[in-house]
Amino acid sequence: MSAQNITIIGAGIAGLATALAFARKGHEVDLVEQAQALSEVGAGLQISPNASHILIELGLGDALASAMICPEEITLVSGRSLRRIAHVPCGAFAAARWGAPYGVMQRADLQAMLLEAVRTEPRCRVHLGQRTEAAAISSLHERLGRPVPALIVGADGVWSQTRRLVPGALRPRFSGQIAWRFKMPADAVGSILNARNVTAFLGANTHLVAYPIENRAAINMVAITRGADPGQTWAEHENPNDRISLLEAFKDSHPDLLSILRNAPQMTWWPLFEVPDGRWSNDAGSVLIGDAAHAMTPFAAQGAAMAIEDGYELVQAVSHAAEDAVGLAVTEYETRRRIRIGRARKRAAFNQFAYHARGAVRLGRDLLLAIKSPESLARDLDWLYGYRATGL
């Protein structure tokens, strides 16, 4: 099809990656963000091969390589005894098996490289400080002095305003889980952490994931526990009572792990919301991607990856459609992506069950993982990490 005018609401990782992908296909893109300045929250991010492959395809390979740390393995460890349970090899193994690197990095670095690429792309225009409430979205092009867009893409996150334009889209619901995020200097975490790996410490109704950032000088940590629904919010700074609640949730953990949690600097806590399986498009030129469409819990570390896949596949679908068939292309895209997202959701739910197991289930989990080879565990991820996004 010929070049189209595309409006994208939200300039986070999903919106930036999608804008770049549309522009690379020759479309004119207006990327609209309500904030006056772009700033990313949350220290770290895991980039699995299904996402890094797309970023490389978009021309970000060199920037990605300079900012991303490729861990040697993903290690599962008992939070109670610190005994190593199982591991999946990464590094050169991941790149060879899944065709692209597995890495970790700071979220701000990924957003910065995407923003730089978008701002240097002649077909992209970034508009900050613009109202993006649902009632204002349909007239955005008039305020910006732009043509009527062929497609409005809602990449505006779990509390999406664009979602209100999509009949049948469902509201977010609290998952029952809270993520506590913080980082510490690598030399302050003792010997229980290997700065070359991604490590998941598994506990009863809790787990903690740790991995290196800042050229291995710091360790990003995310502790996940049960929690109460705080209402519509995103990231909050903890108070002293919050830390007491966190330590209580991890009370059965190894003393060294408890010491890290006790002595950590101020944390932010993030209530984890999910978006149930409703509609993503309205058959009238609006479509949701990423957390706006299908926010999921982070137990498979696929939130950003699924959003990057969404945008890339949407671009391919629209770019290969006839000019009068964009709506049909979006509908078919939604049908295909729903299958992939559904499988990722099931993997996240399975991981939550396995990571937070207790009692006899925990013992059975440890026994099963112990008898599985690293190659076998990697094979279980082929469908996820080896996936190649397409719109054809």
Beta-strand relationship, 218-226 and 236-237:
unpaired
3.40.50.740, 3.50.50.60, 3.40.50.10950, 1.10.1740.10: which CATH number matches 5-70+104-171+275-352? 3.50.50.60
Instruction: Give the closest residue to 391 by CA, choosing from 322, 337, 338, 344.
Output: 337
Tens-digit pLDDT profile for residues 131-158 = 888 888 888 888 888 988 999 999 999 9
Whole-angstrom Cα distance, residue 77 to residue 271?
A: 25
The tokens of 18 are what? 């999608």
Tens-digit pLDDT profile for residues 30-45 = 999 998 887 766 678 9
Cβ pair 314, 341 in contact under 8 A: no
Please report which helix (H) or strand (E) contains residue 287, including its range.
Answer: strand 286-288
Whole-angstrom Cα distance, residue 114 to residue 376?
A: 35
Tell me the β-bridge partners of 274.
173
Q: Supply the DSSP string of 315-371, one letter for each residue.
A: HHHHHTS-GGGHHHHHHHHHHHHHHHHHHHHHHHHHHHHHHT--HHHHHHHHHHHHH
| Helix 326-355 and helix 303-319, axial crossing angle in degrees, nearest 10 | 160
Whole-angstrom Cα distance, residue 232 to residue 336?
A: 30
Identify the pLDDT of residue 391. 54
Cβ pair 108, 44 in contact under 8 A: no
% of the chain at pLDDT higher than 70 = 98
Tell me the β-bridge partners of 173.
274
Has residue 160 got a pLDDT over 60?
yes
Beta-strand relationship, 28-32 and 124-127:
parallel
Q: Which residue has the tokens 């779990």?
A: 158
DSSP designation for 69: B
The tokens of 189 are what? 């975490």
Identify the pLDDT of residue 1. 58
Identify the pLDDT of residue 38. 79
Domain locations along the chain: 5-70+104-171+275-352
Whole-angstrom Cα distance, residue 39 to residue 58?
A: 22
pTM exceeding 0.75: yes
3-state secondary structure of 203: coil
Confidence of residue 392 (pLDDT cuts 50, 70, 90): very low
